[in-house]
Structure 1
Amino acid sequence: MTNGYLLIDGNNIGFAAAATKKLTVGEMEVQAVFGFMRAIRMAVARYPLLKPVVLWDGVSWRKHFYEEYKAGRDAPADTPAAKAQLALRKGYKVQRPLILKGLKHLGVSQLAAMNLEADDLAAILARRYAAQGKKVLMLSGDKDWIQLIQPNVSWFDPQRGELLTLNTLEKKLGYDPAKKRIVVCNGKDEIDGWMGVPSPRAWLEIKALMGDASDEIPGVGGIGEKGAIELLRTYGSVVSFRNQVLDRTIDAAKLPKKLRDFAEQEEKHFIFTRNMTLMDLNSPDIPAPARLKLTAGSLERDDFASFCSELSFKSILTDIDGWCEPFARAA
């Protein structure tokens, strides 16, 4: 009997699995399929009271709002790194239908909307289920999902094995400006890529100031990671900062130039506002789902065994009943 939901970022988990050590059946790569099956089985076994739902990306509304959004992913590859990334994406695209097939055999529900990304679907479902008093765990390596953390909603990064809840978000992470890296507050264990921020909203505003190179979203310019974090820690929010400048609570002339420029130049504020529109998963301006598609399978042990046999997943076949048991409980 489940009492909540496990929301899984399909493409994020699948692409991460595709980037692992190559696994082939004949000439076909299958490491994304194998890695995805292992990741979801591990999560379902670890959280037996949560019903798994895999969320897939549609064609994002963000591309219509801002043409440059993720545009580089469709551009010709002209460097060795870009060519390798393109090859990885193509390899994952070939394997993705097999992931969908395996999930169907395991009885795992899958959800997609024509105009939304998995991030948007996670936001909609997290709010809905949390309002109903249900527990929600979001499974993704995408740190954009951190902004969705709220009472009853937590985030787990399977690649790092890191769990964040509303209670631990503020206490667990802190920023060490001397090292220019994020460290656990005991000052010992370092975690690359994190930002020590006091709230999910602050995390979002920092990203909007900095931009997101992976999505081709430029920042406001002049404010990097350290400056963005210090601004949010000092003033609480960008709105509070600008209001204090406008009502002269803050003497703009005494601000560092990068902050003074941000406070006074409307172009920079426009960029920040645009980035917030692109990044804020709780925005009321996100369109309603169009052509929502739910694939709800049922556990088909024999079909899944045949699926694994075709792909030579021998480690799964060794104990197929035990391997499928967590999915039977989650049904």
Structure 2
Amino acid sequence: MARITDTTGRLLLLDTASLYFRAFFGVPEVIGPRGVPTNAVRGLLDMIATLVERSRPSHLAACWDNDWRPAFRVEAIPTYKTHRVSGTVDGVVEEQVPDALAVQVPIIVDALTALGVARVGVDGHEADDVIGTLATLYRGRLPIDIVTGDRDLFQLVDDDNEIRVLYTARGGVRNPDVVDEAFLLDKYGIPSGAAYADMAVLRGDSSDGLPGVAGIGEKTAAKLITTYGSLEALRAAIDAGDPAIKGAQRARLEAGAEYLDAAPRVVEVVRDAPIGEIDLSAPTRVADPALMSRLAVDHGLTNPFDRVVSAFDALGMG
């Protein structure tokens, strides 16, 4: 399993693809000396520097999508992310990724390697599952910040164990929404991360190809989950003929029974993905100076690397 040898400080979990996609679309294109665009690399390195300067994490993981559309989710809901499929190459379903971003991903991998930032992925799983597993493994041992632009990870919010989400969709990493249980209550009218997951099942999410229960919008979904406490309890009430669930609403929920059987397997993040042995300690030195130097020269990344190293230097990197 992943290792945290010191349980003081803070664990920072990065939804890496969410961040480098945001960087790609938000940072003006820059072409490096080798003719390769570098805006996503630059943007991600700048984000990491900002997060390290602000959060001063003792532990850090760049969580990775080893599989962006896992088979177990597609089996449950065949429409899962179908609108993002670009085609099949050698039997592998590939995601639509702009060419100018795709060529930067190997550079991002090398940059994280050079810096010594742990990059954690699990075959057959998304980064969300890696984040869910690490948050579960280390909850209660140290505070955990999850950095993402994906609302799905709100389900991991847990005030008792100091797990929160820094949500970058609106303000980026410089001014993220800090999502805790008070945020969930104010924004959605639900009390917890677990309740958010249940609400998300009912509501659905068109961006992921999840239809939800027809006619049940976000507000209704939140009210139902708050009233009954959980999706499981709501479904038990439907089956028991609860008279408070009637008319068109009952008909819609009953019609959505097959979807409700399957959708939790898609929406809920995995909490026990097989993560191997890896040290999550924030870097105390540049892991591969030669690789970092080559990347800096080949792609014009000296300034972004200097800023990240300066941020880590404040934590003890030399």
TM-score tier, shorter chain, comes to 0.7 to 0.9
**Paired residue for 1:156?**
166
Cα deviation, residue 128, structure 1: 0.8
Point out where structure 2 has 5 or more consecutive residues left out of the alignment. 1-5, 88-94
Determine if contact 2:202/2:260 at 8 Å carries over to the other structure.
Answer: yes
Residue 326 (structure 1) aligned to one of 301, 305, 311? 311
Which structure's relative contact order is higher, taking Cα pairs within 8 Å and 6+ residues apart? 2
**What amino acid is aligned across from residue 292 of structure 2 in structure 1?**
F
**Paired residue for 2:219?**
226
Counterpart mapping for 1:96-245 below 5 A: 96-131=105-140, 133-150=141-158, 151-159=161-169, 160=171, 161-166=176-181, 168-170=182-184, 173-174=186-187, 195-245=188-238
Determine if contact 1:8/1:139 at 8 Å carries over to the other structure.
Answer: yes
Determine if contact 2:157/2:192 at 8 Å carries over to the other structure.
Answer: no
Determine if contact 2:15/2:148 at 8 Å carries over to the other structure.
Answer: yes
Cα deviation, residue 127, structure 1: 0.8
Q: Provide closer, same or farther for how the CA distance between residues 330 and 70 of structure 1 changes in structure 2, counting only shifts above 3 A.
A: farther
Distance 2:42 2:125 in 1: 27
Determine if contact 1:9/1:56 at 8 Å carries over to the other structure.
Answer: yes
Distance 1:214 1:326 in 2: 35
Cα deviation, residue 323, structure 1: 4.3
Distance 1:23 1:315 in 2: 13
* 1:58 equivalenced with 2:58 (yes/no): no
Q: Provide closer, same or farther for how the CA distance between residues 199 and 295 of structure 1 changes in structure 2, counting only shifts above 3 A.
A: closer
Please state whether the residue corresponding to 1:24 is helix, strand or coil: coil
**Paired residue for 2:29?**
22
Counterpart mapping for 1:258-269 below 5 A: 259-265=249-255, 268-269=256-257
Q: Normalization by structure 1: what TM-score?
A: 0.76
**Paired residue for 1:37?**
45
Cα deviation, residue 9, structure 1: 0.8
Determine if contact 2:10/2:58 at 8 Å carries over to the other structure.
Answer: yes
Give runs of ≥4 in structure 1 deviating > 4 Å.
292-298, 300-303
Q: Provide closer, same or farther for how the CA distance between residues 196 and 94 of structure 1 changes in structure 2, counting only shifts above 3 A.
A: farther
Cα deviation, residue 277, structure 1: 1.1
Distance 1:310 1:123 in 2: 36
Determine if contact 1:169/1:198 at 8 Å carries over to the other structure.
Answer: no
Determine if contact 2:10/2:56 at 8 Å carries over to the other structure.
Answer: no
* 1:270 equivalenced with 2:255 (yes/no): no
Q: How many equivalent pairs are there?
A: 287
Q: CA RMSD in A?
A: 2.9
Q: Provide closer, same or farther for how the CA distance between residues 248 and 70 of structure 1 changes in structure 2, counting only shifts above 3 A.
A: closer
Q: Normalization by structure 2: what TM-score?
A: 0.79
